[in-house]
Homo-oligomer: A and B are copies of this chain.
Amino acid sequence: MQNFTYQNPTRIIFGAGQIAALDAEVPQSARVLVTYGGGSILSNTVLAQVRTALGRREVSEFGGIEPNPAYETLMQAVALARAKDVDFLLAVGGGSVIDGTKFIAAALKFEGEPWDILARQAVVSDAMPFGSVLTLPAAGSEMNSGGVISHRAKGDKLAFNSAVTYPAFSILDPTTTFSLPPRQIANGVVDAFVHVVEQYLTYPVDAKVQDRFAEGLLVTLVEIGPRALAEPLDYDVRANLMWAATLALNGLIGAGVPQDWSTHMIGHEITALHGLDHAQTLAIVLPAMLTRCREGKRAKLLQYAERVWNITGGSEDERITGGIAATRAFFEQMTIGTRLSDYRIDGSSIATLVAKLEEHGMTGLGERGDVTPEVSREVLQLAV
């Protein structure tokens, strides 16, 4: 096991009816900016529940934070927060809204050009306090301190992280997911699955508990993913999905082990260039990445095939191939295409994608830093 530091201060308030707990979690005297996106939040009762729970507090609202939240949009929220002199932010939505709210929280206390937080990885040493009401199980943003922000004008999609951008609390009410479109549920399952894989499918360091926890999350997602699509009103299925997605990226399973994240970094470029959903890009890149890097990941791929997919027969190479094929089949069972061609993208954009990776410094990806631009190019070619 590798040495590590782990701390996660976010308070999780989980279950049906918990939005009412906002009244106890948000300071009574707070001037609140509620941030949200669009879609189901406007048609279901979540926003109404939030407004009721906030009672007589001074509340402003900023809607329209889009998937892959845009710097340009978020800076409008920063301006509104300043104009209203707010002192607490409340994100109501999924990973995009929460990621975006983390950026707003940081930008409000940042001296200088806030885009430098992404482009130059400027240190974020202060942020406005914020909480979240999660409505989409996927990103894990509700219990971590990271965010991914896109700059539309520049065509960039970049990540940031800091010790001061953990939500103070996050309310996870599985019933808020009942009205989500199937596509968002499918995306959420795949996103959470790949988050686990990026922290698990590297090389062994004899971290037995981390491995068992990661495998437990993967097995759970395989078990409930199709049911989350087929039985959208099953509370326990949605509850297990919500908690699994949170634990997939709250730092716990990644503590003390090598991490990969090359699939995410390549996926970000596909989203930035072609506008695909984040999870679609992961479903495209991961099977190709595992195929290209199967020797480096050999020992963990064998463990993965056995413990997650119960593949115990055949040669080692057959078991590895079987595990990768099962991964692809699972994504497709979740109705998400796993090849660029499924989205009418051919190989002609690969050169641009690789150039963007190089522009963003993504030249030594993976758990060993050996996923060079050339390897990324081969991965993308395998993904056509």
Contacts and interface: CB of A to CB of B under 8 A. Distances in A.
A203 interface: no
Instruction: Name A's interface SS.
Output: mixed
Contacts of A243: 1, 207, 209, 256
Contacts of A224: 208
Interface string A138-178: 00000000000000000000000000000000000000000
Contact of A12 (B7, B219, B220): B7
Interface in A1-44: 1-18
B1 A5 contact: no
A220 B206 CA distance: 11
Contact of A9 (B3, B7, B207): B7
A191 interface: no
B206 A212 contact: no
A215 B9 CA distance: 25
Interface range on chain A (Cβ under 8 Å from partner): 35 or more
A176 to B, nearest CB: 14
B14 A256 contact: yes
Contacts of A213: 212-213, 216
B244 A220 contact: no
Contact of A217 (B16, B209, B220, B244): B209
A188 to B, nearest CB: 15
A10 B220 CA distance: 27
A12 B13 CA distance: 22
Contacts of A16: 3
A223 interface: yes
A160 B223 CA distance: 39
A247 interface: yes
A239 interface: yes
A231 interface: no
Given A7-B12, A8-B8, A256-B14, A1 B240 contact: yes
A216 B208 CA distance: 8
A255 interface: yes
Interface centre among A1, A208, A244, A252 (most CB of B within 10 A): A208
Interface string A242-285: 01100100001001100000000000000000000000000000
B9 A14 contact: no
B5 A11 contact: yes
A215 B17 CA distance: 29
A375 B10 CA distance: 40
Contacts of A8: 8
A244 B209 contact: yes
Nearest to A253: B213
A212 B219 contact: yes
A236 interface: yes
B6 A240 contact: no
Given A1-B239, A208-B223, 6 more contacts: A4-B14, A6-B14, A207-B243, A209-B244, A212-B215, A213-B213
Closest 9 CB pairs of A and B: A3-B15, A212-B216, A7-B11, A206-B236, A1-B239, A6-B12, A208-B220, A208-B240, A9-B9
